[in-house]
Amino acid sequence: MLSSEALHSYVEYYFNLSGKYMDTLMRHASPLYILDTSILRERAEQFKRAFHDVLPDTAFYYAMKSNNHPDVVRTLVCSDFGIDVSSGMELEQAVASGAKDIVFSGPGKTREELLLAVRYSDRVTVLIDSFGELARLEDIAAAEDKIIRAGVRLAASKGSLWRKFGITPEELPLFREDTIKCSHINFCGLQFHCSWNRTPDAQVEFISTLGHILSGLPDLCREELEFIDIGGGYWPPQGEWLQPAGTREGKMKIGLGAEAGPATDHYCLPSAGIETFAEQLHIALCQYIYPILSCKICFEPGRWICNDAMQVIMTVVDKKADDLIITNAGTNTVGWDRFETDYFPVLNLTRPSLQERECHIMGSLCTPHDVWGYTYWGDEIQEGDILMIPEQGAYTYSLRQHFIKPLPHVVTL
């Protein structure tokens, strides 16, 4: 269960900031995304500091897919982050934002995208995803008479759906042999990515595997490697908060035709702080990597950096019953029906209270899945009240959908 102390502290923190958000509504009509770049800068510095304190040589790349708003990208560039992109579209935006250090990851890069990377070879490192992509990149770089830095992604999971990413670690020696034949590719690094990391366990386990693979390579091959990119997937420190329907038990109850549980029950899957990640990854690197290879360690945080920096503001436009209201923002704002299973407190900024009350908070899209939550925090709720859902900065704005209703404007603080 999510502790009442942690929940009350969270709600009180955001109610104490309500003046800043209500002042914004004096100048801009809801619905709104409110982006606070000071939070981005604070998270960026905290993340860098955690790893700078324990590792000798590091680099940091913001994963643009987590929130691609231009002000987010520019803020992180100004905070001395490189940018991790996963498409030609993102690459062009990163260049326009002033990024000088870009890693281009992701499967299925088209020839047009690889050509774009080659043309920006002064600032782009391509993280190659397959043997075929290696051959295509060499052909394109040769035609352009350019040499481009590149690494290869190693598959960190054997799960069926994760097969789409990278080559298997066991294929690394063969891949390296193929890179020797590519005179226009400077092969100099490795990447892996473990997703949804609430603890460092999966990353530590793969670092152990990687150390074993690297120890079997020739010395010359290891000497070519300038970086190991550990990827991202770091979960914010407050953990993952769930509605009853998001828990294993709740899903079983729903499958049996029962209610998942009371709306005021909330659950937390805890996560480690970033300092714990830094400490444990440092121990693993010292044990498995540094004895055989001296290189830069790179990180690609996305969610951890931008999650807290964007809030969603909306207005109650219709009160249909004491336990049913409609807002002027639909869940096309965030792009998916996350609030049926994920829990984020809905705060009534107009009538704040540390009392949580049951009520279906629905959007105005013409679908029953347009759900913001099943409770709100406030004295009561009426038409015209201003509601806020905090911490909607990650995998929301980038996933927004032009569906039925207009999307909110972004106000940057």
Is pLDDT at 158 greater than 80 in this prediction?
Answer: no
| Helix, strand, coil distribution of the chain in percent, nearest 5 | 40, 25, 40
CB 301 within 8 A of CB 44: no
Q: Alpha-carbon torsion 47, 48, 52, 56, what sign?
A: positive
Q: Is 38 exposed, middle or buried (0-12, 13-18, 19+ CB in 10 A)?
A: exposed
Eight-state DSSP code of residue 194 = -
Task: Give the C-alpha separation, 14 to 18, whole Å.
Answer: 6
Q: What is the mean pLDDT of residues 104-112?
A: 97
Name the least confident of 158-162, 296-300, 332-336, 343-347.
Answer: 158-162
Task: Give the C-alpha separation, 134 to 129, whole Å.
Answer: 8
Query: Which pLDDT does position 12 carry in this prediction?
Result: 97
Query: What are the strands, taking DSSP E only, across 51-123?
Result: 58-63, 82-85, 102-104
Q: What percent of the chain has pLDDT over 70?
A: 100
Is pLDDT at 405 greater than 80 in this prediction?
Answer: yes
| Polymer length in residues for the chain | 413
CB 103 within 8 A of CB 90: no
Query: Which pLDDT does position 346 carry in this prediction?
Result: 98
CB 231 within 8 A of CB 300: yes
In this structure, the number of other CB atoms found within 10 A of the CB of residue 209 comes to: 15
Query: Which pLDDT does position 76 carry in this prediction?
Result: 98
Q: Alpha-carbon torsion 372, 378, 383, 389, what sign?
A: negative
N-term to C-term CA, the chain:
34
Task: Give the C-alpha separation, 145 to 161, whole Å.
Answer: 37
pLDDT band at 157 (very low <50, low <70, confident <90, very high): confident
Is pLDDT at 395 greater than 90 in this prediction?
Answer: yes
Please, what is the average pLDDT of the chain? 96
Query: Which pLDDT does position 221 carry in this prediction?
Result: 84
> Which single residue is written with the structure tokens 């960190």?
156
Helix (H, G, I), strand (E, B) or coil at 28: coil
Structural domains in the chain plus CATH codes:
4-35+308-412 (2.40.37.10), 37-238+272-306 (3.20.20.10)
Q: Alpha-carbon torsion 374, 379, 383, 384, what sign?
A: negative
Crossing angle of helices 18-25 and 4-16, in 10° steps, is: 40
Task: Give the C-alpha separation, 75 to 92, whole Å.
Answer: 17
pLDDT band at 163 (very low <50, low <70, confident <90, very high): confident
Residue-wise pLDDT for 309-343, tens only, equals 999 999 999 999 999 999 999 999 999 999 999 99
Residue-wise pLDDT for 185-234, tens only, equals 999 999 999 988 999 999 999 999 999 999 988 888 899 999 999 999 99
- Residue 145 has phi, psi (to 5 degrees) of 55, 50
Task: Give the C-alpha separation, 16 to 152, whole Å.
Answer: 47
Task: Give the C-alpha separation, 176 to 182, whole Å.
Answer: 10
Residue-wise pLDDT for 261-299, tens only, equals 999 999 999 999 999 999 999 999 999 999 999 999 999
Q: What is the mean pLDDT of residues 139-168?
A: 92
Give buried/exposed letters for 83-96 (b at 16+ CB in 10 A, else e). bbbbbbebbebbbe
Supply the Cα-derived Rg of the chain in whole angstroms. Answer: 23
- Find how far residue 174's CA is from the centre of its chain: 32
Query: Which pLDDT does position 268 carry in this prediction?
Result: 96
Helix (H, G, I), strand (E, B) or coil at 390: coil
Query: Which pLDDT does position 285 carry in this prediction?
Result: 98
Query: Which pLDDT does position 161 carry in this prediction?
Result: 85
Helix (H, G, I), strand (E, B) or coil at 274: helix
Q: CA nearest 228: which of 331, 125, 318?
A: 125
Query: Which pLDDT does position 166 carry in this prediction?
Result: 95
Query: Which pLDDT does position 291 carry in this prediction?
Result: 95
pLDDT band at 41 (very low <50, low <70, confident <90, very high): very high
